[in-house]
Structure 1
Amino acid sequence: MRWPKGVSGLCYGGDYNPEQWFEDVWREDVELMRRAGVNLVNVGVFAWSRLEPEEGHYTFGWLDRVLDLLADGGVKVALATPTASPPPWFSLAYPDALPVRGDGTRLLHGSRDTYCASAPAYRAACRRIAGALAERYAGHPALALWHVHNEYGTVCHCDHAAAAFRGWLRKEYGGLDALNDAWVSAFWSQHYSAWEQIFPPRATQYLPNPGQLLDFRRFWSDELLSAYVEQRDLLREATPDVPITTNYVIGGWVPVDHARWAREVDLVAIDHYPTDAGLGAEEQTAFGADLARSWAGGKPWLLMETAPNLVYTPERMHAKEPGRMIRHSLSHVARGSRGAMFFQWRAPRGGAERYHSALVPHAGPDSRVYREAVRLGDCLSRLTEVDGAPIEASVAIAWDAASWWALQAPGMPMEVDYAAEVQAAHRALWRAGVTTDLVALTDPLPHRLLVLPAHYLLSDDAAAAIRAYVAGGGHLVATYLSGVADEHGRIRLGGYPGALRDVLGVRVEEFQPSPDGWAELVRLAGASQVRPGVTRHGYGAGVAWYISARLDDGAYQDVLTEAARGAGVAAGGVPGVEVVRRGGGWVFALNHTDQAHEIPAEGVDVLTGVAVTGVLTLPAGAYAVLRPTPDLAERRAERA
């Protein structure tokens, strides 16, 4: 992990779009940033048409003046390559680089992300603009970080993509025999005898091949990564001392395995936008932060984008109540983010996202939102000391992008949202006051409890790792649809959950989904029933629980709380009061409720200077960050 060059303390700022404003506004922006404590802004994310108004002709003068103003004002820059939004001239000149949907519809220019990442013309244009930016700004004093592209995730089914997909499959499988076996292509006469017979999963008569769908998602993850790496390597050659990243976006439509990408970025950075107007927003915030920390390998990461004062629910926009923006930001910092960045700095006058929230709203700086932004800047400036202190978590939840993709395929017994299953487990533990890590099964597992929610795909190696974990004394909770298929999506025979039957001590003969939810016909094979739909089984020195039915939130929390306590994990807390403990005795406490609450804690609140001995009283909506006192640190060291 490499930190933005020249940035001291936690990062604070967001996306800044000066190309949308006159120069007198730029000067006001810099002064407002200084007042709020902003020290880093993303510049140029969607500025390709202003930087290169016609092919090969660059107009950098305006950007020169912007970067000079920011540098003079003490604000560093994450300079973006603008390749997520090609300009109109490009789409007109290279129509074959426009994306094609699975139904054959070619999309036209008029929004963002109108490109095919497999199109040679697009990749060449990306390299040219990235190289031009690197050449011009390599030595600029404002440059602290390169921000490549924006929210990689665009998919295409065109002929360029088809050729690249075949190349990826050749490399992945070596020969057609291995591919036919992995895809079980004997079904419905889909056996392939030549590579040219293989296409992307375009619109077809009935159900597509699930192996083809799964590999197409894997292919696009690698294809987009190669597009990122091309730009990264150009930038790194020009500025070896400046770290490089891109912002991860999380969603069911995203064909990116972010855990795999994490090896190729200097800093893991995510965008996170809760979609629940109620307490679910806080639960989603904690989940997104824990997931980012897992991709970063437990190291610090960065919240690159979030909304300052609105929650975007599927139905409408919901204004965040006073203090909520700060609590969300502190939740991310508590769970490992080295700051809080927002989309966006100033709300635009027009455009598709004209009502997207901003630190400087349409009302201007004389507004509640900007005044809270100033308070947030003050809070973040006081938290530099906590940087690097590890998050204390003795429970892990497995996360697997491929299982998410596989469960999205049509033809399943019931529609199951993998991300929702993982979030349900995380939510239950969050409500029980348990901080969790999210992990890949290839990671070390020092945790006392491991939860596997709907971990549909399981390789032989991953299954062996789970057996060893439980046999060695670990505690496991697995839910329905875990271990059912191998890494290619082929069903493991002999009864579900195929790869985990021995560990769990059960054999499932059939799934029994209904309008009321998920259920299974379970035969006990060593396990004992704890309650309807829940079994427990001793395996080696450990314990394995199996949840074969979809439980409501309360019942799920009860089961996970009991499993956590059985594993020696303290579980229990005040619902809606978030407490995160970090190494050395640091405590983040956030009261998301409308009532005052007390929690056991010691230290000095770095935000107020108030000493706490034994009990911390948090008024409704309040927050505190406790730094350990010297005597507390000594006692913890003695216990360790």
Structure 2
Amino acid sequence: MRLSYFYDRVTSLAYGGDYNPEQWGPEVHAEDAELMREAGVNLVTLGIFSWAKTEPTPGAYDFTWLDGHMDRLAETGVAVSLATMTASPPPWLTRLHPSTLPVTEDGVRLHPGSRQHWCPSSPVYRRYAVRLTERLATRYGTHPALALWHIGNEYGCHISRHCHCEVSTAAFRTWLRERYGTVAALNDAWSTDFWSQRYGTFEEIHTPRKAPSFRNPSQQLDYWRFASDELLACYLAEKEVLTRITPDVPVTTNFVPVAKTLDLFAWAPHLDVVSYDSYPDPHDPDALHRTAFSYDVMRGLKGGRPWLLLEQAPGAVNWRERNGRKPPGRMRLDSWQAVAHGADSVLFFQWRQSRGGAEKFHSAMVPHGGRETRIFREVSELGAELAAHPALLGSRPERADAALLLDWPSWWALELDAHPSKDVTLLEAALAHHKPLYEASVACDVVPVDGDLTEYRLLLILNLYSVSQETAERIRAYVREGGTLVMSYFSGITDEHDRVHLGGYPAPFRELLGLRVEEFDPRPDGTWAEEIHLEGAEAVSTFPGGGAPAVTRHAYGEGVAWYLGTRPAPKEMRELLDRVRSECGVEPTLPDLPEGVQVRTRVTGAGERLHVRMDARDNSVVVIRG
């Protein structure tokens, strides 16, 4: 396994951040080495936005500046996650090849001047990116500082669905041919007899560009799939080079905070280790919970293996309307929360705060004020604290008894237009179902629709709008064989092509749930309601006024299926899930925890259990053995 290469070079929890020495001169580089030792830094990400410096003109490479930094870092005992530099092409590439620039759905070509200004389908962009990657791999593949390859940066952050140029259109047609084989099969899947959309050839099909009214939902859904696949193809083109030249060195890329842009379960098998960027808002009172959910997603992408936190902010960021600082102790709590949920690294953007550019007001480990600042003192204290717990490195998070099912294609389909209510959004639903477990300090894994469900006592399914018959049967089998299911409304409505399952809502789950939904009834205030007819289930609670069922419970096989025909208020949701947990035996790792205290457990290779106890009331953290 290639990760052993990383663990041979980083022997305690990885600590550091993005290092951009090209922004500074030699006198600062000398101070960097001193301050990194003082802060306990043992890993930096190098070169993410260095393409223009490394290849200042086409085919003319200058590695002398990078050689010096790689050598100096190796001498000071700092390992390097070396980026392939392809996240932001140099100005000369777009000057010579303007076709590499992305085009929006209304035909506007985007221009350079920021970052990620490239069309994911462009063969020209990919050719230049692969050429640079090959040069980097050849030059630094055996360098003693190298611990990890970092491809690109935050795929999908800015151009997840932006490109509708002719190159992307042709690539979309090719993707559709591979998926459907014939235009007849596509017409059937896309229901093109509606609104006279039937296609005669693939050449008649475009990306879902701006149109007079609602666009074909199946076309939009497939375009989401295509966009995620095209970005993955860019990543894989570079990974192929790295794996061929440096087969022992692990490869990763950093995902942005959980969003619907990329199908992360489809990407995860192609990463040797999952990496993530986390930026909770200090002004958000629910930020710790939101972050915990995102960390559970990252842990779930590779079946519970440790992952890497590659970016977070030690203080304020720069992109919100109001960029609040992190109060004393909060950066420490945020960092330990990542470790508690399975992170083997705590890295920041960035090491030294930039003097110029768009992110000059984004905080860094070394602020504009230098060593004599609160942030640098806290950074140094945290470095020493993390280094004192080497047993955590490589330890696996303890498997949970509860799981939440997440499916990106269903998410994409759920939030298309022309639906009963625009208020049904998946991320908020996920947080609402996850929070009662979080508040009770109950660990929860996040699993894909094709994941192993058999070991979980409790499964949460929220707004699984689009589902195949095969997936529906796996969920029925889970309950039939003894599992406890909590399913939320607007689930099991359409198939994988966004065609309605006929036979009464939710057709694939009617027998499982013991009910039939006749009509949806979203209310003006944004709440969801529906007309439920019981077919074996019992009503646990009812809608006000008419006594119609709102929450139901149904014994099915050896298990139990609960159905939520509305979103209970937070207090009622907590009470309901506490009852469900009690029935199926899902408990917190440590009992009798005060409100505001969380505990997560990691297990070492020797079987030792390490409990990380986090107290949001005073930002304290304690690691407990046993």
Q: Map of 1:44-63 to 2, 5 A cutoff? A: 44-63=47-66
- Residue 456 of structure 1 deviates from its aligned partner by 1.2
Query: What CA distance in whole angstroms lies between the structure 2 residues aligned with 1:545 and 1:312?
Result: 43
SS in 1 for 2:429: helix
User: 1:210 aligned to 2:210?
Assistant: no
Is the 8 Å Cα contact of residues 13 and 341 (structure 1) preserved in structure 2?
Answer: yes
Q: Is the 8 A contact 2:317 2:363 kept in 1?
A: no
Matching residue's letter, 2:138: E
Q: Which residue of 1 aligns with 2:566?
A: 549
After superposition, where does 1:476-495 map in structure 2 within 5 Å?
476-495=485-504
Paired position in structure 1 for 2:580:
563
Letter in 2 for 1:284: R
TM-aligned CA deviation for residue 251 of structure 1: 4.7
1:590 paired to 2:600: no
Match of 1:575 among 578, 595, 602: 595
User: Are the counterparts in 2 of residues 577 and 591 from structure 1 also a CA contact under 8 Å?
Assistant: yes
- CA separation in 1, counterparts of 2:281 and 2:466? 28
> What does residue range 24-423 of structure 1 map to in structure 2 within 5 Å?
24-153=27-156, 154=159, 155=161, 156-252=163-259, 254=261, 256-275=262-281, 277-310=283-316, 314-386=320-392, 387-415=394-422, 416-423=424-431
Question: Partner amino acid for 1:302?
Answer: L
CA distance in 2, matches of 1:574, 1:385: 27
For the residue of structure 2 that corresponds to 1:319, the secondary structure is coil
Report the CA distance between 1:94 and its aligned residue: 0.6
8 A contact 2:313–2:363 mirrored in 1: yes
What's the offset of the Cα at 1:227?
1.1
- The question of whether the paired residues in 1 share the 8 Å contact of 2:520 and 2:529 is answered with yes
Matched-pair contact (CA < 8 Å) for 2:329–2:619: yes
Aligned to 1:428: 436
- Contact 1:510–1:521 (CA under 8 A) maintained in structure 2: yes
Show structure 1 runs of 4+ deviating over 4 A: 311-314
SS in 2 for 1:223: helix
CA distance in 2, matches of 1:86, 1:337: 30
SS in structure 2 at match of 1:579: strand
How far apart, CA to CA, are the structure 1 residues paired with 2:456 and 2:302?
17
Please give the TM-score of this superposition, normalised by the length of structure 2.
Answer: 0.94
Identity of aligned residues (%): 47
Secondary structure of the equivalent of 1:477? strand
Counterpart CA distance in 1 for 2:205 and 2:132 is 34
Question: Once the 2 structures are TM-superposed, how far is the Cα of residue 390 of structure 1 from its aligned partner?
Answer: 3.5
1:301-349: CA deviation from partner (whole Å, max 9, x where unpaired): 1111111223679541121111111111111111111121111111101
Cα displacement (A) at 1:587: 1.2
Q: Which runs of 5+ in 2 are unaligned?
A: 543-549
Answer yes or no: is 1:530 the counterpart of 2:540. yes
Question: What's the counterpart of residue 623 of structure 2?
Answer: 625
The residue type equivalent to 1:364 in the other structure is G
Deviations 1:3-46 (A, max 9, x none): 32512111111111111111211111121111111111111101
1:138: how far off? 1.8
Distance 1:531 1:311, change over 3 A: farther
Q: Distance in 2 between matches of 1:538 and 1:391?
A: 30
Structure 2: distance between partners of 1:575 and 1:167: 54
Compute the displacement of 1:559 (Å): 1.3
- Residue 291 of structure 2 aligns with an amino acid whose one-letter code is T
Structure 1 range deviating more: 242-251 or 440-449:
242-251
Contact 1:27 1:69 in 2 (8 A): no
Which stretch shows the higher mean deviation, 5-14 or 68-77? 5-14
Deviation at 1:382, TM superposition (A): 2.0
Matched with 1:598 is none
> How big is the shift at 1:575?
2.8
1:475 matched to 2:484: yes
Q: Distance in 1 between matches of 2:242 and 2:492?
A: 42
Please give the secondary structure, in 2, of the residue aligned with 1:374: helix
**In structure 2, do the counterparts of structure 1 residues 480 and 312 end up closer, same or farther at CA, with 3 Å as the change threshold?**
farther
Identify if the C-alpha distance between structure 1 residues 145 and 234 changes in structure 2 by more than 3 Å, giving closer, same or farther. same
What displacement does 1:236 show?
1.6
How far 1:383 sits from its partner (Å)?
2.2
* Alignment correspondent of 1:607: none
The range that moved more, 166-175 or 383-392, is 383-392
Match of 1:609 in 2: none
CA positional deviation for 1:167: 0.7
Please list the CA deviations of residues 63-95 of structure 1 after superposition, one character each: whole Å capped at 9, or x if unmatched: 111111111111011110111111111111111
The count of corresponding residues between Structure 1 and Structure 2 is: 601
Q: Given residue 321 of structure 1, which amino acid in structure 2 is its aligned partner?
A: P
Q: Which letter does structure 2 place at the counterpart of 1:622? A: S
Structure 2: distance between partners of 1:501 and 1:277:
43
Question: 1-side partners of 2:330 and 2:177: how far apart?
Answer: 50
Structure 1 position 443, deviation (Å): 1.0
Are 1:9 and 2:17 counterparts?
Answer: no
Secondary structure of the residue that 2:433 maps to in structure 1?
helix
Q: Which residue of 2 aligns with 1:439?
A: 447
Cα contact 2:274–2:298 (8 A) shared by 1: yes
Task: Note if contact 1:276-1:312 (Cα within 8 Å) is conserved in structure 2.
Answer: no
Listed one character per residue, the Cα deviations across residues 284-306 of structure 1 (whole Å, up to 9, x for unaligned) are: 22111110010021111111111
CA contact (8 A) 1:275 1:313 kept: no
Deviation at 1:579? 1.2
The answer to which structure, 1 or 2, has the higher relative contact order (CA under 8 A, 6+ apart) is 2
- Residue pairs, 1:444-455, within 5 angstroms: 444-445=452-453, 446-455=455-464
1:311 touches 1:320 (CA, 8 Å); kept in 2?
no
Match of 1:616 in 2: none
User: Does the aligned pair in 1 maintain the 2:257–2:279 contact within 8 Å?
Assistant: no
Contact 1:277 1:311 in 2 (8 A): no
Q: Which secondary structure does the structure 2 equivalent of 1:82 belong to?
A: coil
Matched residue of 2:490: which SS? coil
Contact 2:2/2:272 (<8 A) preserved: yes
Q: What is the distance in 2 between the residues matched to 1:383 and 1:456?
A: 44
Separation (CA, whole Å) in 2 of partners of 1:353 and 1:544: 49
Asked whether the equivalents of residues 403 and 418 of structure 1 are also in contact (C-alpha less than 8 Å), the reply is no
Q: Using structure 1 for the length normalisation, give the TM-score.
A: 0.91
Deviation at 1:453, TM superposition (A): 1.0
Distance 2:395 2:34 in 1: 31
Q: Verify the 8 A CA contact 1:395 1:435 in the aligned structure 2.
A: yes
Kindly state the Cα deviation for residue 259 of structure 1 after the two structures are TM-superposed.
1.0
